Amino acid sequence: MPIDHKRINPPEDAVPYKLFTKLNTKSSQEQYQQILDKNQIRKDGRHASEHRKIYMKTGVIAHAKGSAYIEQGQTKIVASVFDPREIPNRLDYCLKGEVYCDFKFAPFSCPKRRLHQQDSQEKEYSSIMKKALEAAICRHEFPNFQVDVYVLVLHNAGSALSAAITAAGAALASAGIPMFDIITSSTLAIQGKDVLLDPDFEEETLSEIAIEKEHGIIVISVLATHDQISHFHQVGNLPLNVVSDSIDILHKSCKEIVPLVQKCVIRSVLAGISET
């Protein structure tokens, strides 16, 4: 790794201590078997089709136009939105405004330390978020301008992408950016016949490994009022019928989150009124 001249540099040979813990002899299959018991109850006591509890709050960042903080189980994410600004380095006129998304994991947010520079996964998530949010924002209302959306994951306990999209949606709404609808998002992890809604970090990682032939993760975001899916993201190997069933589950789950976001957004409006 080259020396970063703009940060204080650690010794070059630092390695996570987890590498030296007593060797975990369990294969991923064995690990997976512990995740769900016979009654479809997971380690944390949730049923396989049960979503974790969400806590949400807007207006956490003083100088942002809009901001939101979300806690989905242990997953903790902050999102902020800034006023439209002129698109830098652009000379031609564009009819629709642009959305710039920046998704970042804090260095301490995952079991393994993350680097300061944006890695490929973060870049991928940024572009997925951009696609998902673009559909919800009335981009024709601010031609030639760009809205900046920043997301920081403080603690990644699974389903970070969907939680980030939900939080970014709430931040956009509280920033007064014109939107077609409230956007919510949900994650589903599939391994064989098991279908886990809103997986935690361990469930998520295990579903990415091919223990059985059919496995994978699906993230969708939904514009609830008009029953539209604004984006669909899938990894792994799944047959078509499983996918369509999954979409139904996810769609339902996304709709269930909507009232929470609505309540949160309205609260921010009322807070705004009492200030002025």
Partner 1 sequence: MAKVLTDRAYIEMNYRPKAGLPCVQDRFYEAILKNTCETALAASLFPRASVVITLQEMHDNGQLISCAINAACLACLDSGIDMRFMFAAMTCFLTNNGDLHLRTPEVKEDIDAIFVFVFDSVKKNVIVSHTEGTFKTENYKLALEKCREGSETVFKFMRKEITKE
Partner 2 sequence: MDTNNLLVCYPGQRLSLCDKVYNSGQGTYERQGYIYSNLAGLVDVVEKDGIKIIEVHSPGVQTIVPAQGDIVTAQVSIITQQFCKCYIKCIGDKVLSRHFRAILRREDIRATEKDKIDIYRSFRPGDIILARVLPITEAHTYQLSTAENELGVVIAHSEHGHPMVPISWTEMQCTKTYAKEPRKVAKVIPESVHEDFIVRLAGNVSEN
Partner 3 sequence: MSKIREYTISNCEKNFLLKCLKDQTRLDGRAFDEFRNIEIEFGKDYGCCCVSLGQTRVLAQVTCEIQVPKSSRPSEGILNINIELNPIAAPNFEPTSKNDLFTQLNRTLEKCLKDSKAVDLESLCIKMSEKVWALRVDVNVLNHEGNILDCASIAALSALHHFRRPDVTCDGEDFIIHKYSQRDPIPIVIHHYPVCITYSIFERGEFILADPTLLEEGVADAFLTVGMNSYKELCGLHLGGKAELNPDILIQITQKAGNRAGIVVEQIKKAVKEENEKRLEDKSIGFHNKLCSTKNIDFEDLETCFDQWRIAPKRKHKDTEKNMIGETVEEQIQTENFSVKIEKKGSQSAVLVPEEFEEVGRVWGDSDEDEDAVVEIPKKIQTVSLLDSDSEEESTIVLNANSQTKKMEEITI
Beta bridge partners of 137: 179
Closest CA to 189 of 162, 174, 208, 167: 208
Residues 2-61 that bind partner 1 (CB under 8 A): 5-8
Least separation, in Å, of the C-beta of 3 and partner 1? Answer: 8
Alpha-carbon distance of 67 to 123, in angstroms, equals: 21
The residues in 246-265 that bind partner 3, with binding defined as CB under 8 A, are: 256-257, 259-260, 262-264
Compute how many residues bind partner 1; rule: CB under 8 A: 4
Minimum CB distance to partner 3 smaller for 108 or for 119: 108
Please report, as residue ranges, which positions from 129 to 188 form the binding site for partner 2 (by CB under 8 A).
138, 141-142, 144-145, 173-182
The answer to whether 117 contacts partner 2 (rule: CB under 8 A) is: no
Cα 224 to Cα 226: distance, rounded to the nearest angstrom: 6
User: Helix axis angle, 240-275 relative to 160-174, nearest 10°?
Assistant: 30
In the complex, least distance from residue 98 CB atom to partner 2, rounded to whole angstroms: 13
Q: Which stretch binds partner 3 (CB under 8 A): 51-59, 82-90, 103-111, 204-212?
A: 51-59
When CB distances are held under 5 to 8 angstroms depending on the partner's kind, the choice from partner 2, partner 3, partner 1, none that residue 6 binds is partner 1
Is 210 a binding residue for partner 3 by CB under 8 A? The answer is: no
170 exposed, middle or buried (CB, 10 Å; 0-12, 13-18, 19+)?
A: buried
Of 9 and 127, CB closest to partner 1: 9
Q: How far is CA 204 from CA 51, 84, 201, 223, 267, in A?
A: 14, 35, 5, 24, 33
Pairing of strands 75-86, 228-237: unpaired
Q: How many CB atoms lie within 10 A of CB 149?
A: 28
Nearer to partner 1, 87 or 209 (CB): 87
The residues of the shown chain that bind partner 2, judged by CB under 8 A, are 65, 82-86, 90-93, 138, 141-142, 144-145, 173-182, 223-226, 261-262, 265-266, 268-270, 272-276
